[in-house]
Amino acid sequence: MTAATSILPAGLYATLPLWPLFGALLVGLWIALRVKPERAHWPVVLGVLVSAALAVTLFFDLQRQYAAAPETHAGGFVYSVYNWISLGQPASLEHNQWLAVNFYFDGLTGVMLLFVTVVSLMVVLYAVGYMRDHHGHPERGYERFFAFLGVFVFSMITLVLAGNFVLLYLGWELVGLCSYLLIGFYYGKPAAAAAAKKAFIVNRIGDFGFALGIFSLYWFLRPYVQPGENPLDYAVVFKYAQHLATAQIGGMSQATLVSLLLFCGAIGKSAQFPLHVWLPDAMEGPTPVSALIHAATMVTAGVYMVARCTPIFGLSPLALDVVLAVGMVGAVLTATMAMAQYDLKRILAYSTISQLAFMFVGLGCGVPDSAVFHVFTHAWFKALLFLGAGSVMHAMGGIIDARKFSGLRHVLPQTYAVMWVGCLALAGFPLLAGFWSKDEIVHAAFERHAAVGIIMLATAGLTAYYTFRMFFLCFHGPLRLPAEAGEHPHESTTMIRPLWVLAGGAVLAGYLGVSFGGPASESFLAIFRPHGLIHDFLHHSTIGHPEHGHGGLWLLYLSAGVALAGIALAWLRYGAAPVADPDARALGGLWRLWHAKYFVDEVYDALFVRPLRALGRLFFNTDNYGVDGVIWLVTAVPRGLGFALHYLQRGALQAYALSMVIGLVAILVLWSWWT
């Protein structure tokens, strides 16, 4: 992109992350000055609004560039803010190697920023209504909540914009920190504090691998990097990535090692099996946080990172197979777990893991553009679903268990309407956002191997089924309300408005990824041809131009049929919102296994948590009784002496005088005997 044709100067785009941070700092000042919290959301709302406006402009700007030069599949441009850390002692300064703070603008960042900022804006607006009680008074910690949200948006944009691996890692850890702070927002609640710790610790495991991946990348590529090139910049790394494919280490290629280590980070951040256990517990945080961080944006960072590193992962078929296998196992496991839950937010959390697993399947099948397309569509409808669940929770006085209410369509008509849209989009109902992106991934899976395709198609059917099981249990059947809901449960207008915007996204986002103009005469769906604007856009990035055709009509109809079958089955079994769960009776032991989440938490508890805790107790006791015991013995000597002698201090004047006389006589006798 050249300066002449860009709408705004590149330096202005580089301020994208800063606006929400300014907002958060202002809110901090707000707290320090003890101003009333009523309007504490404004700085963050405005900050995110400016960022969203910049991101949308950037998207159109890049789109114009790419439309002008459709054949060049080169990446974007780099905006260097400043040189951060020097990596060498060169002869002259211009040949120095730096860790720079630089931002990388290309098709991938354009797409990511578009939904990250707009969904963030919707969630922040929603939170203005959500974080208040029924009288409209802000709840305790209102300012703190918005300050954290501002810092999160800043961190997420930094993560997406980062132009080198260290800055990526910085953003990666910052979003992790914000996630920790916001899961533990209700820190007075033991479950929330425990969930925050769990999220942080489980992420540490993945991030350890991620850090090792970055270290090894630096180590392996150092011999090739020329003076004056920054060794961890994306552009430099991907330029020399070819060398990793041939060099061997420990029986595998360096590319495989680096990819697998980087993928560890993705598993942790995107909550993939076997590190998925933190995400369902993270639902202890306020619902806007679940929608923004644990559904739409932060958890997709793993997918983003793997897509960004396509030039490395692409060199290692083994690493791609691992990505595919982890995705497949996770998709099936968590979809089945979601079938047997009652907590609305937990169902959605398992669904999120399952959908992220779909994206990893896409990445593993070598179609990162389809995976990112699914990230893009998923953000809209999953944020919508979470916020809809939050609306239910708000109206029900904090109750989120689907067994405790039903028939809510009578009291929450608008929430009911937007939830219809969100559920249909998640289920892959034809023509809605989820349909287009999921279909592409299923097609790539079929191209990889028929078995993979069938498994993914079956998982898509399960998705439709559990989504509508949840939906019917909540909104259909006779009206039942928990006592906590009060006399007149209602929905808040402040909260509903952003939901309609997201619902619009859930309907329309898919059309950015398809093109039109097929032969309408064949059938209706033939009008749409896969691979639209988003794909062209993504090809102008480090993803490059992956080879894939499209599944054609049979797959579109097949996946539409599977989705409709899932919805129909859910209607038959749960349409009347029965109090006794029909699946629990029909599936028996299998259902209980799903309900218990395959006992993964229990297995981890037995394998890791308890041995570690026992080890900790051993160390504690060694310190407490061993080390402290020795010190206690040392202090016991003067204490014992003092105890023995304290009987002599009787306070009797004449007894003291007598002992003085005796002592004096003794000294005199001794002295005379001595001399």
Partner 1 sequence: MLAAHLLVGALLFALGLVGFVTRRNLIIIFLCTEMMFQGIILNLVAFGRYPLEGPPTFDGQVFSLFLIAVAAAEAALGLALVVLLYRHRGTLDAGAWTTLRDE
3-class secondary structure per residue, 412-475: CHHHHHHHHHHHHHHHCCCCCHHHHHHHHHHHHHHHHCHHHHHHHHHHHHHHHHHHHHHHHHHH
653 interacts with partner 1 by CB under 8 A? yes
For 654, what's the count of Cα atoms within 13 Å in the CB-facing half-sphere? Answer: 0
Q: Which is nearer to partner 1, 82 or 647 (CB)?
A: 647
Q: Which is nearer to partner 1, 82 or 671 (CB)?
A: 671
Q: What angle do CA 637, 641, 647 make, to 5 degrees?
A: 155
Q: Which is nearer to partner 1, 618 or 658 (CB)?
A: 658
In sequence order, what DSSP letters do the residues of 1-16 get, joined into one string? --TTT-SS-HHHHTTT
Binding mask 262-301 for partner 1 (x = CB under 8 A): ----------------------------------------
What is the closest distance, in whole angstroms, from the C-beta atom of residue 602 to partner 1 in the complex?
A: 56
What is the closest distance, in whole angstroms, from the C-beta atom of residue 285 to partner 1 in the complex?
A: 56
Part in contact with partner 1 (CB under 8 A); list of ranges 107-115, 153-161, 312-320, 651-659: 651-659
What is the closest distance, in whole angstroms, from the C-beta atom of residue 661 to partner 1 in the complex?
A: 6
590 interacts with partner 1 by CB under 8 A? no
From 649, 671, 673, 675, residue interacting with partner 1 (rule: CB under 8 A): 649
Q: Is 557 left (phi over 0), alpha (psi -120 to 50) or beta?
A: alpha
Alpha-carbon dihedral sign for residues 473, 477, 482, 486:
positive
Q: Which is nearer to partner 1, 580 or 652 (CB)?
A: 652
Q: Which is nearer to partner 1, 612 or 658 (CB)?
A: 658
Cis peptide leading into residue 274 (ω within 30°)? yes
Q: Which is nearer to partner 1, 33 or 645 (CB)?
A: 645
Q: Where are the alpha helices (DSSP H) in 92-164?
A: 107-130, 142-161
Give CA–CA dist 336/598, Å, rounded.
10
**Which residues, other chains included, contact 279 with Cβ-Cβ below 8 Å and sequence gap of 6+?**
199, 271, 294, 299, 349, 352, 353
- CA distances to 42, 108, 387, 484 from 415, rounded to whole Å, are 25, 33, 9, 19
Give CA–CA dist 414/392, Å, rounded.
11
Q: Which is nearer to partner 1, 637 or 653 (CB)?
A: 653
From 91, 483, 633, 652, residue interacting with partner 1 (rule: CB under 8 A): 652
CA 573, distance to chain mean position in Å, is 33
158-182 burial, b at 16+ Cβ within 10 Å, e below that, comes to bbbbbbbbbbbbbbbbbbbebbbbb
Place of tokens 């629990």: 584
What is the closest distance, in whole angstroms, from the C-beta atom of residue 662 to partner 1 in the complex?
A: 10
From 2, 92, 635, 654, residue interacting with partner 1 (rule: CB under 8 A): 654
**Which residues, other chains included, contact 364 with Cβ-Cβ below 8 Å and sequence gap of 6+?**
320, 321, 322, 323, 324, 325, 326, 327, 448
From 34, 36, 135, 650, residue interacting with partner 1 (rule: CB under 8 A): 650
From 606, 658, 667, 670, residue interacting with partner 1 (rule: CB under 8 A): 658
What is the closest distance, in whole angstroms, from the C-beta atom of residue 646 to partner 1 in the complex?
A: 5
What is the closest distance, in whole angstroms, from the C-beta atom of residue 644 to partner 1 in the complex?
A: 12
Q: Using CB under 8 A, count the residues that bind partner 1.
A: 11
Part in contact with partner 1 (CB under 8 A); list of ranges 176-184, 340-348, 367-375, 654-662: 654-662
672 interacts with partner 1 by CB under 8 A? no
What is the closest distance, in whole angstroms, from the C-beta atom of residue 637 to partner 1 in the complex?
A: 19
Q: Which is nearer to partner 1, 631 or 644 (CB)?
A: 644
657 interacts with partner 1 by CB under 8 A? yes
Pick the closest to residue 152 from 169, 172, 138, 136 (CA basis). 172
Place of tokens 């209102």: 142
Part in contact with partner 1 (CB under 8 A); list of ranges 169-177, 359-367, 434-442, 653-661: 653-661
Q: Which is nearer to partner 1, 89 or 649 (CB)?
A: 649
Give CA–CA dist 7/5, Å, rounded.
6
Part in contact with partner 1 (CB under 8 A); list of ranges 71-79, 244-252, 389-397, 652-660: 652-660
**Percent helix, strand, coil in the chain (nearest 5)?**
70, 5, 25
Write out the binding residues for partner 1, residues 552-581 only, by CB under 8 A.
none
Binding mask 344-373 for partner 1 (x = CB under 8 A): ------------------------------
Q: Which is nearer to partner 1, 508 or 655 (CB)?
A: 655
Part in contact with partner 1 (CB under 8 A); list of ranges 433-441, 451-459, 544-552, 656-664: 656-664
**Residue 104 φ/ψ, nearest 5 degrees:** -115, 110
Give CA–CA dist 543/485, Å, rounded.
49
- CA distances to 130, 139, 395 from 489, rounded to whole Å, are 14, 19, 5
From 250, 651, 673, 674, residue interacting with partner 1 (rule: CB under 8 A): 651
What is the closest distance, in whole angstroms, from the C-beta atom of residue 635 to partner 1 in the complex?
A: 19
Pairs from 56-59 (Cβ < 8 Å, separation ≥ 24): 56/114, 56/117, 56/118, 57/7, 57/8, 58/8, 58/13, 58/16, 58/105, 58/110, 58/113, 59/110, 59/111, 59/113, 59/114
251 interacts with partner 1 by CB under 8 A? no
Q: Which is nearer to partner 1, 493 or 672 (CB)?
A: 672
What is the closest distance, in whole angstroms, from the C-beta atom of residue 657 to partner 1 in the complex?
A: 5
Q: Which is nearer to partner 1, 35 or 661 (CB)?
A: 661
What is the closest distance, in whole angstroms, from the C-beta atom of residue 642 to partner 1 in the complex?
A: 9
Binding mask 25-44 for partner 1 (x = CB under 8 A): --------------------
Write out the binding residues for partner 1, residues 138-197 only, by CB under 8 A.
none
What is the closest distance, in whole angstroms, from the C-beta atom of residue 667 to partner 1 in the complex?
A: 15
Which residues is 164 bridged to in the sheet? 233
From 661, 668, 669, 670, residue interacting with partner 1 (rule: CB under 8 A): 661
Write out the binding residues for partner 1, residues 608-647 only, by CB under 8 A.
646-647
The SS3 assignment for 132 reads: strand
Pick the closest to residue 435 from 360, 380, 476 (CA basis). 380
Find the farthest-apart pair of alpha carbons in the chain and give their distance in angstroms, rounded. 134
Q: Which is nearer to partner 1, 250 or 651 (CB)?
A: 651
The SS3 assignment for 228 reads: coil
Q: Which is nearer to partner 1, 637 or 644 (CB)?
A: 644
What is the closest distance, in whole angstroms, from the C-beta atom of residue 173 to partner 1 in the complex?
A: 58
Radius of gyration of the chain (CA): 31
Q: Which is nearer to partner 1, 68 or 660 (CB)?
A: 660
Place of tokens 């730096």: 98
Part in contact with partner 1 (CB under 8 A); list of ranges 180-188, 330-338, 633-641, 657-665: 657-665
Rule CB under 8 A: which residues touch partner 1? 646-647, 649-654, 657-658, 661
